[in-house]
Amino acid sequence: MSYAEVLIPAQPAPPQTMKRLSKARVAGYFFLALWALLGIALIAMMITNWDNEKFFKFGPRFLHGLGITVQLVVLSFILGAILSLPLAFARMAKTALPKWLARSLNGLAYCYVYLFRGTPLLAQIFMVYYGFPQARPFLESIGVWWFFRDPFNCGLFAMTLNTAAYQAEIVRGAIQSVPRGQGEAAASLGIHKTVAFYKIIMPQALIVALRPYGNEIILLIKSSAIVSIITVYDLMGETRYAFSQTYDYQTYLWAAIFYLSIVELMRNGWAKMEAYLTRHLKR
């Protein structure tokens, strides 16, 4: 026991706080039990109404759609992460550039982020899928029509632009959360600003950004179902096809289970990676 602990003994939590914690815990257990009962009822319903013919007929299509969904999410997240870096730097452009140029870059980046975060992803996908073909002669003249005539590429393009706006704000907030004293200490040691940024500030910012990045991936997984509207046969697209052939609501239950499994795998894997990368902070 330290000297401070002898002088200032630990005080128990107030009774009102303990009551609130106990009520919140009871409510949490109640909703957990409710979800467990719903899950058991769902499993029982599927077992009693199980149809092997439908399962073997549409099962391969569901797996194919699952692969398309994973491919779409991974590519859009990686490309969005690459695009988000210059957007985040433009949002923070201040002293390193001339004032007029910094303000211009900041304004353009702000408009981009405001536009793609303030409008629905569905509208953005429609704008790309239905709007870009109106400019087909121009797209053919610059040699990119081959890309936008594919629905998968249109969905990938729209999702990349959308997630880049969110990731730019994640990166900007994470960098600005690092105390200024880190850069000042590096400057006092004679470390160049660029080296200090990539070796000192950026690693700390990435640790702060881990949790928001995980949330963004999960939201991207669930948002990817929208691309089925533009004839992309991802997991939801194959589900819609199976339902149109059978009119069996269980096809959507299968899709929900697939999406829930992906999200849970992603959540647990990301949590383990975060615990591994931040293990030095828990010592």
* Per-residue pLDDT at 6 exceeds 80: no
193: left (phi over 0), alpha (psi -120 to 50) or beta: alpha
Place 96 in a pLDDT band, splitting at 50, 70 and 90: low
Please state, for a pLDDT cut of 90, what percent of the chain lies above it: 43
pLDDT band with cut points at 50, 70 and 90 for residue 137: very high
**What mean pLDDT value characterizes the chain?**
84
pLDDT: is 37 or 7 the higher one? 37
Residue of higher predicted confidence among 40 and 168: 168
Which pLDDT does position 4 carry in this prediction? 46
- 3-class secondary structure for the chain? CCHHHHHCCCCCCCHHHHHHHHHHHHHHHHHHHHHHHHHHHHHHHHHHCCCHHHHHHHHHHHHHHHHHHHHHHHHHHHHHHHHHHHHHHHHCCCCCCCHHHHHHHHHHHHHHHHHHHHCCHHHHHHHHHHHHHHHHHHHHHCCCHHHHCCHHHHHHHHHHHHHHHHHHHHHHHHHHHCCHHHHHHHHHCCCCHHHHHHHHHHHHHHHHHHHHHHHHHHHHHHHHHHHHHHCCCCHHHHHHHHHHHHCCCHHHHHHHHHHHHHHHHHHHHHHHHHHHHCHHHHC
Residue 192: per-residue pLDDT:
86
Dihedral sign, Cα of residue 179, residue 180, residue 186, residue 188: negative
Query: Does 37 score more than 90 pLDDT?
Result: no
What integer pLDDT is reported at residue 102 of this predicted model? 80
* Average confidence (pLDDT) over 20-24: 65
CATH for 55-282 is 1.10.3720.10
State pLDDT tens for residues 190-205. Answer: 888 888 888 888 888 8
Q: Is residue 27 over pLDDT 80?
A: no
Torsion-angle region of 279 (φ positive above 0: left; ψ -120 to 50: alpha; else: beta): alpha
The residue extents of the domains of the chain are 55-282
Specify the pLDDT at position 45.
63
Query: pLDDT digit string (tens) for 8-19?
Result: 444 555 556 555
- Tokens 């990368």 appear where? 277
Q: What pLDDT score does 1 carry? A: 46
Report the residue count for the chain.
Answer: 283
Residue 2 has a pLDDT of: 46
Using the structure block, give the residue that is written with the tokens 């769902």: 42
Q: Give the residue-averaged pLDDT of 62-79.
A: 94
Predicted TM-score (pTM) of this structure: 0.81
Residue matched to tokens 């002088």:
7
| Per-residue pLDDT, 23 | 67
Mean pLDDT for the stretch of residues 53-75: 89
pLDDT of residue 179: 87
Question: What is the model's pLDDT at position 14?
Answer: 58
